[in-house]
């Protein structure tokens, strides 16, 4: 299927590694003009190289802090200057620290809010004028399976990821008239460094091996394995594509059937 993304301007946040890089890879396969973003220049250069070697389409990158309003303004301006009005924005970020309610003070809550929710608000605010002037666009907000079933020991993530869902649903109503489609995707257990970190936290807490944690996790997933980053990236590319013309305001899990909630 041709997703109609060739030469479209696409911005993928937190894309030097993990799910963000996997999403950027799929856009590059579709010959989109992709801008990567991360605070880690060396990782961005490596991601740029890997994506080019895999797809033949070289993305650009911008080094910055996702919690900096000024960096986000500069990022969007550079993307538009290089590639034209942004057609698709993928909001993505690493998760806040693991822990229970008693573990976090006001400063921890504020940092988690700025990382997980406010950063999305800021990027959306910057790209909307360009999408409107260009006759429409796509916004995709990456969250977590905790939006359907909260995860133990992740109170910060559980709280603010739900805020992203409320934001996205509301925006889908407000921006429909502008032909801007807004959706949410949520990973279950996808094989990334974030999952490696969480498995290590769980293993240490239970005083068992990481392998034991993973073995038990596989039992909770009907497909019997962790997902692959490219499986997540493919869905992201479709929802952000010109082919998707009537799906908005939706939340889609990529979890191998793990979450049993309806």
Angle at 193 between CA 229 and CA 238, to 5 degrees: 20
Residue-wise pLDDT tens digits, 1-50 = 899 999 999 999 999 999 999 999 999 999 999 999 999 999 999 999 99
Percent of the chain with pLDDT over 70: 100
Predicted local confidence at residue 192, as pLDDT = 86
Mean pLDDT check: name the lowest of 21-30, 125-134, 157-166, 205-214: 205-214
Residue-wise pLDDT tens digits, 99-111 = 999 999 999 999 9
pTM of the model: 0.95
């Amino acid at each position: 299927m041709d997703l109609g993304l060739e030469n479209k301007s696409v911005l993928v946040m937190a894309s030097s590694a993990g799910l963000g890089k996997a999403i950027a890879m799929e856009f590059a396969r579709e010959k989109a003009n992709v801008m990567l973003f991360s605070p880690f220049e060396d990782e961005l250069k490596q991601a740029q190289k890997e994506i080019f070697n895999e797809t033949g389409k070289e993305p650009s990158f911008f080094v910055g802090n996702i919690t900096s309003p000024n960096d986000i303004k500069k990022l969007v301006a550079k993307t538009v200057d290089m590639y034209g009005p942004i057609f698709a924005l993928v909001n993505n970020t690493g998760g806040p620290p693991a822990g229970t309610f008693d573990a976090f003070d006001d400063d921890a809550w504020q940092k988690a809010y700025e990382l997980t929710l406010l950063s999305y608000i800021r990027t959306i605010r910057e790209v909307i004028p360009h999408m409107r002037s260009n006759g429409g666009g796509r916004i995709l907000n990456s969250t977590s399976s905790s939006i359907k079933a909260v995860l133990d020991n992740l109170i910060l993530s559980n709280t603010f990821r739900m805020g992203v869902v409320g934001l996205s649903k509301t925006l889908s109503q407000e921006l429909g008239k502008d032909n801007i489609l807004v959706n949410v995707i949520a990973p279950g257990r996808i094989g990334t460094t974030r999952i490696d970190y969480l498995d290590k936290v769980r293993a240490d807490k239970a005083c068992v091996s990481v392998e034991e944690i993973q073995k038990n996790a596989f039992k909770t997933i009907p497909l019997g394995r962790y997902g692959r980053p490219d499986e997540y990236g493919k869905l992201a590319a479709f929802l952000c594509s010109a082919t998707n013309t009537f799906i908005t305001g939706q939340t889609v899990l990529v979890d191998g059937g793990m979450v049993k909630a309806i």
